[in-house]
Structure 1
């Protein structure tokens, strides 16, 4: 299969999964993804085990993966672990093409726009943005990792694109090139930095992955108003790595025996760990906690942690045939009870869909609301 056929096949897959605008499809045709994928990388299918791809050792496998729907991880552990190892924390990638296309659709990039991209990564999205804005537009892209930025510059130059590239913390934006018509973000955030709002012209859009670290990650589309506020709704799903400045420490061992607690619960841990996105948004918003869950053999475990206190965490375990379930909790905060209460509050609201949630961003912080901006569920200080 030649490159054109592979690109057409990929666009067909995106159309079948999430849809793609004609402008974005044209950009994908003009900016081949393979120009931005390293010789050795890690393909991460959503329904299977990650696997190393090597263009020299297995060129057919490499091409098949590059023009598949898979995200391609290009860095592990902030560069501390060789990608060939295949295991580690993902720290940079070429995101799923369907997710890239969906965020570009939400951003509604027009020729002539001035765009700030937060998270250069491989440079593929910066190239797509450059194509979309055309000869009279401008793209500024910020990458926190100097090594990633250096490779992105080589990729972009080789593909014939020259956006303005900066190394720094994307949470600060780039005031020198403001105001922007669009801020397009390729890393997850738990809190939207107000600097992005300040640097966007009234009527401009901010499109970002919103990752409350509880269940699914989401796409968020905000419109900036003349009074310096940004407001918008959750728009869909968007799985991205957290912005490095918003990462949090994982749970640590208990410091003393008194910090350990062993309650039991009649609420199935799968009820909390495997629920619709509307429920996870409610639990994340009302508690501020992080959660990840899944099967470990026959057992299912739901892990909870407090991003503000690495010594406060809990795990609830489901086992076949059990009527009550063990909870192991570290710290004084009753994490499990808080999350269960939040889940049943969501049920009492009528189990609202994720699309009914929205966020308003002001200088003092962000408010998360349900249905209307005045129906605030939680206000988070800046």
Structure 2
């Protein structure tokens, strides 16, 4: 097994950090870190075990909006690469070149041949310069990572640095039997997970979830954007009710709850807003992933209340679906994420508990 933390010393993250990035330095918005303005702070933050955002809104904004590319936390990168565990001389397909750091880490392994696909031409060009400057020469492709890159197939390993709502069939088709796919899996509700899949000779893939991983989504897998108010304002008449279930329990629960809810309540995304400093109030939103105009639900937590107000609209009682899914997780005995697995075929993604025959 490779000690990736030792590899990090040979291929330091600082070689792939741009002159300007954004980092979480405490309460408030992400801080803009500029090497020219404060080189000592730049170096100190790069060395921290935290993500560094290097792009917002697909390059159309600086420091605001949706974060769309980052240098991930080194401990999380090590976790993914340990699950991938490439052998000498393996062919590796990487989805999402980003800064180029993980392409360099993989290329540093003996004989490993890396093909890295990046959808953003400007990001790809910057990564190519950094990789060349660091002495690494993976094959770099500009394109949609969901399609893989057939000319380089078959691959022994597929490594995604961006989350997906489903595993693209192209990745499985381009991986040889016995090959491994490791990706952040984010089907909709809550946080994402790490999944490691083994590719079978019949064109399917099967494996288990390994932990949590809240990664940025592959561009072609992003749900409809917008704040919850857009769903409310879309004209659906809301019905009010009450619940005794504290919505914060779902927010703070293990990532296995998010997976169960995403599986049993498909086609939704969630948002959570909390005012810890002043009122202590919080709201959990469940929204149709297709965008405003679809079903939605909100649950408002107020300290000291015995019940919490529910509002929902549309053709689904989304809060009741979420409550039922959470109750099912409790009935199963609060299973950890590592007890869940997934089987992927061209027709379906099937989530199971403990054994592939025990379908969720």
Partner deviation per Cα, 1:136-159 (whole Å, 9 max, x = no partner):
331000001111111111111111
1:273–1:292 Cα contact (<8 Å) kept: no
In 2, distance between residues paired with 1:45 and 1:169? 33
Aligned partner of 2:134 in structure 1 is 159
| Equivalent residue for 2:194, pick from 203, 216, 219 | 219
2:56–2:68 Cα contact (<8 Å) kept: yes
Aligned partner of 1:325 in structure 2 is 308
Residue correspondences, number: 352
Aligned partner of 1:281 in structure 2 is 259
Aligned partner of 2:270 in structure 1 is 291
Summarize the Cα distance change of 1:256–1:35 in structure 2 as closer, same or farther, 3 Å threshold.
Answer: closer
Please state whether the residue corresponding to 2:123 is helix, strand or coil. helix
Aligned partner of 1:11 in structure 2 is none
Deviation at 1:310, TM superposition (A): 3.2
2:212–2:255 Cα contact (<8 Å) kept: no
Partner deviation per Cα, 1:47-93 (whole Å, 9 max, x = no partner):
885211111111111001101001010000111112xxx32210011
Write out aligned runs for 1:200-215 (5 A).
200-215=175-190
Please state whether the residue corresponding to 2:44 is helix, strand or coil. helix
| Equivalent residue for 1:131, pick from 94, 108, 114 | 108
Deviation at 1:291, TM superposition (A): 1.8
In 2, distance between residues paired with 1:38 and 1:256? 41
In 1, distance between residues paired with 2:237 and 2:120? 38
2:97–2:124 Cα contact (<8 Å) kept: yes
1:260–1:330 Cα contact (<8 Å) kept: yes
Write out aligned runs for 1:85-124 (5 A).
86-124=63-101
2:49–2:75 Cα contact (<8 Å) kept: yes
Structure 1 unmatched ranges of 5 or more? 1-20, 378-382
In 2, distance between residues paired with 1:173 and 1:256? 37
1:273–1:294 Cα contact (<8 Å) kept: no
1:221–1:235 Cα contact (<8 Å) kept: yes
In 1, distance between residues paired with 2:235 and 2:9? 60
Summarize the Cα distance change of 1:45–1:304 in structure 2 as closer, same or farther, 3 Å threshold.
Answer: farther
Aligned partner of 1:364 in structure 2 is 347
2:231–2:296 Cα contact (<8 Å) kept: no
In 2, distance between residues paired with 1:170 and 1:99? 21
Summarize the Cα distance change of 1:240–1:257 in structure 2 as closer, same or farther, 3 Å threshold.
Answer: closer
Cα RMSD of the aligned pairs, angstroms, is 1.8
1:61 equivalent in alignment to 2:37: no
Partner deviation per Cα, 1:220-259 (whole Å, 9 max, x = no partner):
1000111111100001122210111110114534466552
In 2, distance between residues paired with 1:335 and 1:156? 47
Write out aligned runs for 1:225-244 (5 A).
225-244=200-219
| Equivalent residue for 1:338, pick from 321, 326, 339 | 321
In 2, distance between residues paired with 1:162 and 1:339? 47
2:97–2:118 Cα contact (<8 Å) kept: yes
